[in-house]
Amino acid sequence: MPELPEVETTKRGIAAYAKNTLIQQVIVHNPRLRWPVDLTRTKQLAGQIIHSVQRRGKYLLFFCDYLHFIIHLGMSGSLRMTQHDEHIKKHDHIQLVLDNQQTITFNDPRRFGCFIVTPEPLNHKLITKLGVEPLSADFHANYLYKRLQNKKINIKQCIMNSQWLVGVGNIYANEALFLSGIHPLRPANSLSHSECLLLVQQIKQILRTAIRHGGTTLKDFINAQGKPGYFQQTLNVYGRANKPCHHCGNLLHETRINSRSTVFCSVCQHLNINQTPA
């Protein structure tokens, strides 16, 4: 489900309720996630104050007194604030009961997400290997251009590589490439510097817009208040295979890149460096 905008939306929603609250109780309904939840450490979160909620890539970092926790929502996870006496739903895995009558509930049907308690989140191997934040000043045309040199694989896989660039998942990779007029199968080292500049600008733009709209919603993204995002109506290519391109009217093509659905316009998105970006 979640790409960067959805995780950011979740972070803001949860932080508004959870910041500076005391964790009174931790309930683990089902420890089976991507990695088994460490029950002993997780229980030790009780009695600690949540000082801040931060996001790094698609990871949520909760900073408490001395033990902290990392949450990844995987493909289908969500966090929502619930009332203390509310009934749990199917696939509610973990609940953190706060001292303000609110509860943070982690739900994840496919169990690709994770919940990790650690004394040093920023030094955790999942976090240290992450690449630049797309909305930071560190992500610029020079950075991307240098990264792409000597790379023969296609550009789509590159912008989805979290060791280089975090937060761009399948939806926004499709969308950003369309907006940049770059064919997803273009060899990475064939992009010109100006194309890198355009691609960087479009990635930043689409992520900012999606955050402003509260995240995308394809099937079941819900924010911390349990409400869906409203970005899907503005998607140009994702989920629109065989429908007319919003730009030129030709039918959009679909292919698979790394077994991920890839939709593009063969007219507007160019395979050659010589063609002018749309």
- Is residue 261 close enough to count as binding DNA by CB under 7 A? yes
- As a whole number of angstroms, the distance between CA 210 and CA 172 comes to 9
Range 89-128, binding DNA (CB under 7 A): 90-91, 109-112, 126
Considering the candidates 34, 43, 111, 260, report the single residue annotated as catalytic: 260
Interface residue with DNA, options 220, 234, 243, 250 (CB under 7 A):
220
Interface residue with DNA, options 54, 170, 190, 266 (CB under 7 A):
170
Catalytic: 243?
A: no
- For 12-43, b where at least 16 C-beta lie within 10 A, e where not — what string? ebbbebbeebebeebbeeeeebbeebeeeebe
Instruction: Give the 3-state DSSP-derived string for 97-119, with helices as H, strands as E and coil as C.
Output: EECCCEEEEEECCCCCCEEEEEC
Catalytic: 2?
A: yes
x/- contact string, 2-41, with DNA (CB under 7 A)?
xx--x-------------------------x-x-------
Catalytic: 58?
A: yes
Range 43-62, binding DNA (CB under 7 A): 57-58
- Is residue 204 close enough to count as binding DNA by CB under 7 A? no
- As a whole number of angstroms, the distance between CA 278 and CA 181 comes to 5
Catalytic: 8?
A: no
- Is residue 75 close enough to count as binding DNA by CB under 7 A? yes
Q: Quick one: 149 or 274, whose CB is closer to DNA?
A: 149
Interface residue with DNA, options 14, 15, 148, 171 (CB under 7 A):
171
Place of tokens 């949540």: 50
Report how far apart, in Å, the C-alpha atoms of 65 and of each of 60, 71, 97 are: 16, 17, 16
Considering the candidates 56, 58, 156, 186, report the single residue annotated as catalytic: 58
- Is residue 259 close enough to count as binding DNA by CB under 7 A? yes
Beta strands in the chain (DSSP E): 21-28, 49-50, 52-56, 59-63, 68-72, 78-83, 92-98, 102-107, 114-118, 253-257, 260-264
- As a whole number of angstroms, the distance between CA 206 and CA 210 comes to 6
- Report in angstroms how near the CB of residue 185 gets to DNA at its nearest: 10
Q: Counting beta carbons within 10 angstroms of the beta carbon of residue 133, is it exposed (0 to 12), middle (13 to 18) or buried (19 or more)? A: middle
What amino acid positions are annotated as catalytic residues?
2-3, 58, 260
Interface residues toward DNA, by CB under 7 A: 1-3, 6, 32, 34, 57-58, 72, 74-76, 90-91, 109-112, 126, 151-153, 157, 162, 169-171, 215-221, 229, 258-261
